[in-house]
Structure 1
Amino acid sequence: MHIPPYYKKTSWQRFFAGVFIGGILAFAVFLFMYGTLMEQRIEENVRLQSELSTLEDNYEILNKDKEELNEQQKKSITVQSIEINFVNEKKLLSEHKLDRLSVYKLRDMVRKQLPDIIGQNLSSLSENTSLIYSSIENRSYKVDDSTYEVKIERLVIAPTFKVSLKIDFVKN
Structure 2
Amino acid sequence: MRVPLLSRYRYLQLLLAGIVLGVCMSWLLFLFMFGTIQEKQTRTIEEQQNKIAEMKKTLSIWQEDYKELNKKNQEILTVQKLHIKIVHNKKYQIHETQSIFEAQEAIKEDLHMLLAKDLASIYKNRELIKKIIENKTLRINDRRYRLQIKEMYFYTTITAILELKLAE
Q: For residue 41 of structure 1, report the CA deviation from its aligned partner.
A: 1.0
The percentage of aligned residue pairs carrying the same residue is 22
Are residue 158 (structure 1) and residue 164 (structure 2) matched? no
In structure 2, what is the equivalent of residue 110 of structure 1?
107
In structure 2, what is the equivalent of residue 126 of structure 1?
123
Distance, in Å, in 1 between the alignment partners of 2:12 and 2:115 is 101
Task: Give the CA RMSD over aligned residues.
Answer: 3.6
Q: How high is the TM-score relative to the length of structure 2?
A: 0.70
SS at match of 2:154: coil
Are residue 27 (structure 1) and residue 23 (structure 2) matched? no
Distance 1:19 1:108, change over 3 A: same
1:87/1:165 contact within 8 Å kept: yes
1:137/1:149 contact within 8 Å kept: no
2:137/2:145 contact within 8 Å kept: yes
Distance 1:61 1:8, change over 3 A: farther
In structure 2, what is the equivalent of residue 15 of structure 1?
15
Q: How high is the TM-score relative to the length of structure 1?
A: 0.69
User: Which letter does structure 2 place at the counterpart of 1:158?
Assistant: F
Q: Spell out the pairing of 1:1-172 with structure 2 (5 A cutoff).
A: 4-7=4-7, 9-72=9-72, 75-76=75-76, 78-79=78-79, 81-92=81-92, 94=93, 99-133=96-130, 135-136=132-133, 150-154=146-150, 156-159=152-155, 160-163=157-160, 164-166=162-164
- How many residue pairs align between the two structures? 166
